[in-house]
């Protein structure tokens, strides 16, 4: 099942664009798996999802640190769990059923994390009165240069990260 990008919006254009790009990556992996293109899905997962996730999480942590988010260490720990799952625990990518299960786990983690855990820093920044400043600090989303590949794989299911 493809993820609806609206599930990962938090109201900051740059983070929304990064979350949408992560959704595009996961959706592309899912679509490739459904089409039986296991090797292509595995490559996109390793070179796309894992690398993009690392860049995005670091970006998010830098902003939380700059604005003194009090639960930064706790938030970082949730990121570490996800990093470990996608970079280390997904060892059997050659078994399509295991890989599909792990990709589904990554999808559900992203949605849950954005809706629950990320919402806490959004609420904190808004209460502190620095939400707009934090969003302006973010010049542009991190990129991997995979947009054209994702458009090719996803076709009409590709969501432009900046259109929401």
Least confident interval from 67-71, 81-85, 94-98: 94-98
Q: How many residues does the chain have?
A: 164
Average pLDDT over residues 120-128: 89
Q: What dihedral angle (degrees, nearest 10) is formed by the CA atoms of 26, 66, 128, 130?
A: -80
pLDDT at 97: 76
Average pLDDT over residues 102-127: 85
pLDDT at 73: 96
163 φ/ψ angles, rounded to the nearest 5 degrees: -105, 95
Report how far apart the first and last C-alpha atoms of the chain are (Å, whole number).
Answer: 21
Distances (CA, A) of 155 to 10, 57, 129, 145, 158: 25, 27, 40, 17, 6
Global pTM exceeds 0.75: yes
């Amino acid at each position: 099942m493809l993820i609806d990008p609206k599930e990962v919006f938090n109201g900051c254009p740059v983070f929304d664009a990064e979350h949408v790009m992560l959704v595009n990556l996961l959706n592309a992996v899912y679509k490739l798996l459904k089409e039986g293109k296991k090797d292509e899905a595995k490559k996109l997962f390793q070179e796309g999802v894992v690398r993009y996730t690392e860049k995005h999480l670091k970006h998010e942590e830098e902003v939380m640190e700059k604005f003194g988010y009090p639960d930064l260490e706790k938030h970082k720990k949730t990121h570490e769990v996800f990093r470990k799952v996608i970079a280390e625990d997904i060892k059997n990518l050659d078994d399509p059923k295991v890989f599909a299960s792990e990709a589904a786990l990554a999808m559900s983690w992203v949605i849950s994390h954005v809706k629950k855990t990320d919402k806490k820093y959004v609420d904190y920044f808004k209460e502190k009165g620095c939400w707009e400043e934090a969003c302006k600090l973010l010049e542009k989303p991190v990129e991997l240069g995979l947009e054209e590949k994702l458009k090719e794989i996803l076709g009409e299911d590709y969501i432009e990260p900046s259109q929401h």
